[in-house]
Structure 1
Amino acid sequence: MWRSIASNALTLLIVALVALAGVIAWGKSQYTAEGPLDQAICLRVPSGSNMRRVSEDLAGQHAISNPSIFRIGADYSDKSQQLKAGAFLVDEGASMAEIIEIITRGGASTCGTEVVYRIGVNRALMQVRELDPAQGNYVETAEFQPGEAGDEGDAIPETYTKVRADANTRYRVLVAEGTTVWRVVESLKGADFLTGSVEADEMPAEGMLAPDSYEVRDGDDVDALLARMEAVQQQRIDTVWATRVDSLPFETPEEMLTMASIIEKETGVAAERRQVASVFENRLKRGMKLQTDPTVIYGVTNGIGVLGRGLRQSELQSNSPYNTYVIEGMPPGPIANPGLEALEAAVNPDTTPYLFFVADGTGGHAFAETLAEHNANVAKWREIEAQRASE
């Protein structure tokens, strides 16, 4: 009889073990299988939360099929104590394992609210954007121009005040091509999520702030951000200079930076940059003056503010070192912060016979090899200007 009882007990144990193994296998497959989420969501994990709360939130949003398996999986992978606060994008069909990875790997939040501070050539603009996870794009919810240099600026929207109080808000500073160092530094004074200030004698050198998008954190130091911009620009200069073609009419990376800044200020059309570069470099090779208005303007403003009017004859005839209608060769330094494409155009221009260009009314330019062709293009541009003025 005891032998029969032992045999039955052993059979039951084996059945139980097999059943347990089946449950474990099923749970593992559930943990790694595609999830039930039919469109992406933005999962917010508050500071001080835990896996139980997160699993219940995910189940409530139909992102996981079983909260218990989710928590067991987190325990089994030793990630229960690695939960990070933030706002995280959970894609359609994400498995429990993938969601665990998303909310424990750290780094910046991947969705939710983003403040973008856009520094342009003439002004800076603060934008508040919210990611629509289902569509995968941002929706602007507020926009205003911060005050600077004694200007009170626009009224601060309540939306901005609210997102500033949210620890999950992300911040980004976007610097446009063609800005001056003064414009960037002055505009950063309006970024209330940054700390610190820059003294006049600590300003970066003109041209050395790389136009780009920089993710920052609330409370980051302005000097540290400017140092990042300088490091990016220096790396670009070094990389691009190493790719230069032969027979350029300049010999140093510093001169390349100056040429790139002129190209940047002369055209906003990406497809034209190498053509514009060819015009200036053809002129230098022939000993012709560059004769470019942006350098003269920089000599008048010193890169501070916007001229806001046409150039005067006295300024076009001045002996300023930036007056390329008078001086030979290039000005003594950059006139703006050029982007990567302008740097590349400076060292690898198109091969053209062009020596002149003028606006063509479409946002681009008409190029010419001879002065006669150029004068005809100028006449067409004057007609376009006159027609626009009469409308």
Structure 2
Amino acid sequence: MRKRFSSIRYVFIHSHLSGLFTTMVTLLAILLSVYVLAEPDWLTASGIFLFIALYLFLGLIISLYTGFTSSGNMKSRLDSISVLITQFANGNYNSSVRFEEDDEITRIGNELNELGKKLLDQVKSLQRMADEKAEFAKSAHKSAVIEERQRLARDLHDAVSQQLFALTMMSEAAVKQLEKNPQIAKTQMEEVAASALQAQTEMRALLLHLRPVHLSGEPLTKGIHNLVNELRQKSQLNFKVEMDEELALSETTEEHVFRIVQESLSNILRHANAKEVNLNVSQRSKELFIHIRDDGKGFDITNNTDKKTSYGLKTMRERSEELGGTFTIRSNKDEGTYIDIRIPC
């Protein structure tokens, strides 16, 4: 109730009533002064109070009506500005207001419109920088691939190739000793088997470096489904996944979102002790919405001492903000964790 009576409409009405009260007191003082000092025949005490009563009655009606109607336009304009600020807070920087009047409120509205344009330009700049960063990452990845190939070639030559050459020499020597000295041939064949096992181990170790760790050109939805299916096989978590299958996102945005989802699911798997995970990825209007919820043990956000969890949350927040989005997390002990991310598309 107190908040309601502090609105702009009631401020206007209060100002009109204050003016009415001041005018009434002034008139009453003047009339009483004339009645006491001059004592004219036409002025009586009952006439004074009747006049003041009528004046107060009509003044109340006029003040209430005038205050209510005159504040309507200003209240509407202030509400428009409040809605615009809320839109900016939610990342909708395309919103704007238009006023016909030429006053201070119109000037504030125009300045907010300019602020929205600057914020929109900053979001576009952030996304452009993210695209450029992705291009640099691709170039670095190509260089890393070339360097890795050279390293693998050296390892193949230094390890597997040398061991295969040694296998050839030992097997030839074993064949020559087979009829002359079977015992020596047997010992040499055992050495051949051990060397073959060592070569096989070296080859497996080299092949581990060739496993893919990125989206590898797959759509975001397929990459997330593959990630969830892999976690289903390795854990007892119950996943509920809802995703828009047709997401219009840039390659950079898809890579960041995939990493965010990957990091959040990794945190849940390692720290939350949860039984169920809800993942929702949807695109509405010009925004991408990501909601991740678990029913785990939760934690105190204001006093989180787990460095690994803190680092993961920091990484997810940085990736979201790098795309011009917002990252929100809510969690309490024994009440699970909720993550909401909004990214402009």
TM-score, length-scaled by structure 2: 0.21
Q: Which protein shows a greater Rg?
A: 2
